[in-house]
Amino acid sequence: DAGVIQSPRHEVTEMGQEVTLRCKPISGHNSLFWYRQTMMRGLELLIYFNNNVPIDDSGMPEDRFSAKMPNASFSTLKIQPSEPRDSAVYFCASSPNGQPQHFGDGTRLSIL
Amino acid sequence: RKEVEQDPGPFNVPEGATVAFNCTYSNSASQSFFWYRQDCRKEPKLLMSVYSSGNEDGRFTAQLNRASQYISLLIRDSKLSDSATYLCVVNGAGNFNKFYFGSGTKLNVKP
């Protein structure tokens, strides 16, 4: 079975640029989560969707971050404009309601 | 106060040792509990769920203490391959879809 698929695996870009991270959840999973992980702050939930609807975006750091889920098989996390402090590993995860989450491989983002 | 708190470690143990981690959670109404394992530069992966009666999976035993609001993970006969960070996960009360991850406990098993 295909797991959660994230792209790109690595992204290096200059500050001020727009960054778009992509995620394809496991088919049949109706909850999708975006996390950010750094050494200092650990794993932080940014936003999660249930049945394509954003339910809780209280973890989104600021207006530079936005996330969409136009359909059940695709989600994006966008940062515009990007800043060096956004450098982190961004994980997407999916699950059936209330069940343990399955994580993608992550996107390692570096903002110079 | 954080929703989930763990000792960051590291726990440095020799092969064959028994090691235990605890994790405390703040919301007494939480219903679902899990342990995840994360290897260096990899994604977190589900290790095991934690059931009220306690459960075992090979060398791993998980227990829940609702009265004191903690969960534990016991690893017996530890292997070099058990070296990883172990994350405690608790769901939000009233919102079974929202999960809180602890910051993780790092385990180093040495030969």
pLDDT tens, position by position, B3-26: 899 999 899 999 999 999 999 999
Nearest-CB residue to B43 (from A45, A95, A103): A103
Nearest-CB residue to A31 (from B34, B97, B103): B97
- Please provide the average confidence, as pLDDT, over all residues in chain B: 92
Distance set, CA B77 to CA B10, B60, B89 (Å): 18, 9, 24
Helix (H) or strand (E) holding A25: none
Q: Which two tokens stand for residue A48?
A: 């999660």
Q: Which two tokens stand for residue B16?
A: 């064959």
Identify which has the larger pLDDT, A74 or B1. Answer: A74
Q: Is the pLDDT of residue B82 over 80?
A: yes
Instruction: Identify the pLDDT of residue B93.
Output: 66
Instruction: Identify the pLDDT of residue B92.
Output: 76
Residues in A closer than 8 angstroms to B10, CB to CB, are none
Q: Is the pLDDT of residue A73 over 90?
A: yes
Q: Is the pLDDT of residue B1 over 80?
A: no
Instruction: Identify the pLDDT of residue A19.
Output: 97
Is residue B78 a contact partner of residue B13, using CB atoms and an 8 Å limit?
A: yes
**Positive or negative torsion for Cα B44, B46, B51, B53:** negative
Q: Is the pLDDT of residue B97 over 90?
A: no
Instruction: Identify the pLDDT of residue B91.
Output: 86
Instruction: Identify the pLDDT of residue B96.
Output: 66
Phi first, then psi: give them for residue A65, nearest 5 degrees.
-100, 135
Chain B residues 33-52 within an 8 A CB cutoff of chain A = 34, 42-46, 49
Is residue A24 a contact partner of residue A76, using CB atoms and an 8 Å limit?
A: no
**Residues of B10-40 as b/e, b for ≥16 C-beta within 10 angstroms?**
ebebeeeeebebbbbbeeeebebbbbbbbee
